Chain A
Amino acid sequence: MKRIYLDHAATTPVAKEVMEAMLPFFNERFGNASSLHHFGREAREALEDSRKTILKKLNGKNHTLVFTSGGTESNNLAIKGVAFANRNKGKHIITTKIEHDCVLNTCKWLESMGFEITYLPVDKYGFVNPEDVESSIRDDTILVSVIHANNEIGTIEPISEIGKICEEKDVYFHTDACQSFTKVPINLKKQHIDLLTINSHKIYGPKGIGALILGENVDIEPIAHGGGHEFGLRSGTENVAGAVGFAKATEIIKDKDIEHMKSLRDMLIKGALEIEETWLNGHPTERLCNNANITFRYIEGESLLLHLDLKGIAVSTGSACSSKSLEPSHVLMAIGLRPEDAHGSIRFSLGKDNTKDEIKYTLEVLKESVEILRKISPFKPRR
């Protein structure tokens, strides 16, 4: 069966040129980047080149890039790191209700350690109001963490404004840019970002590598203690092949790919909304070029996902991480959906290699599947 992958927000395939760039670092240039001999120096050089390449992409001139195992670790390191290094200054952290679980659960854990967290609400599009950020900052606030582009509904947050407020108020600003990196321009300086989370496997790079980028004067405590790798902020032998792949991956998504994904996204949204009693979640334009999150009323997302899967189409309900939970998506609840409608929502996330024909086929299958499942449902459109 022909398979159509529309779940690029979960992960992407590794691009061929990324794989090729990585290969020598598994056996030929396998050295430990901390060794002093030739093998070590060779690995170190590749690691530092990769660091530079990624920082350049973000206009990070005086910034420190710490390689981690991925987005989850970077977000943990950012939030716990700031919290523990600055607890003498204060114990208050501001975040939002629509963060990824790795931010929310880190914040919940910090609450159990005596920190106080403010979870800001969002409007019906999923926007955080910068004024809410400003009015929530207290004397003891040490960090504001707001996701750049939401992983479920794709809404792009006004991070420049939020960053500016944080700078004026002298509070660290962290943003999780796992979904937006290389799709939405990021400029560390212009957007007043003190800590930035990015990762590789959402941008056609390998899994198991990500980064936390820190501004000049940002003070964090490490989580992993050991040999003092990565500026003493993340001990453990460096993943050189991963770093090389990550750096190469930053070049994969081109402007034309963004335009292509946007046009497919809009085609998918238009076609899906032709089905009655459906709507788009998130903002119509201020959204990721590859995200379409749609509610199909009266049916449950998992059932629709499985119907599509049987026809070869891979999508997701909310986020891949929440599949095991029976609770409706916290993001969809935060934008005001009723639980039964939140359960009936599907996230389509496109990739640069998807085609118009694939979207056409998806729309055909979608219409059939929704009709079948609505026949089974006790809830029905009123005509």
Chain B
Amino acid sequence: MSGINYSKKVMEHFLHPRNMGEIKNPDGIGKVGNPICGDVMWIYIKVSKNKQGKEIISDIKFQTFGCAAAIATSSMITELAKGKTLEDAMKISHRDVSNALGKLPPIKEHCSNLAIDALRAAIEDYKKRKG
């Protein structure tokens, strides 16, 4: 047993995940992860323009198969990304996610990378669909 100790914040997001679920007719979907490692994350986004005419993430939801850290990082990335311009959302780093959760156990750090990958994949998907 490695003695995984999750922070209060991680446990809180794990038990009460924000923006959990599916968006019907999303503008972009990011599907990342690998069932062999036990983590799969899907992130759905809706994109609209703000008053300055910049594209922002107006809605975001996630579905995750994974451990507590995977669920908590999914929840946190949706909170961090919601309302941000696509440009700013692309700049969110795994450290931002990890810090916002009050640190992840070292063995679970990769979960924050996965969350970043999922968000970026959703934005890329949106851009591709737009053409």
Contact = CB atoms under 8 A, between A and B. Distances in A.
A377 interface: yes
A303 interface: yes
Contact of B65 (A300, A321, A324): A300
Interface stretch (B45-53, B66-74, B81-89, B95-103): B66-74
Contacts of A324: 1-2, 4, 107
A154 to B, nearest CB: 20
A300 B67 contact: yes
A323 B2 contact: yes
A275 interface: no
Given A300-B65, A303-B14, A376 B35 contact: no
Contacts of B1: 320-321, 323-324
Contacts of A376: 17, 20, 63-64, 71
A327 B40 CA distance: 14
A215 interface: no
B15 interface: yes
A321 B2 CA distance: 8
Interface string A312-341: 000000001101101110000000001110
A310 B2 CA distance: 19
A303 B71 contact: yes
A104 interface: no
Nearest to B107: A324
A323 B4 contact: yes
Contacts of A340: 35-36, 38, 40, 65
Interface in B10-57: 11, 14-15, 17, 20-21, 31, 35-42
A377 B38 contact: no
A306 interface: yes
Interface string A290-324: 00000000111011001100100000000011011
A203 B2 CA distance: 24
Contacts of B17: 376
Contacts of B65: 298-300, 340, 377-379
A97 interface: no
Interface string B100-115: 0000000100000000
A300 B70 contact: yes
A324 B108 CA distance: 10
A378 B64 contact: yes
A306 B5 CA distance: 11
Contacts of A343: 35, 38
A38 interface: no
- Top 3 A-B pairs, shortest CB-CB distance: A324-B2, A340-B35, A378-B63
Given A302-B67, A326-B107, 4 more contacts: A324-B4, A328-B36, A375-B21, A379-B65
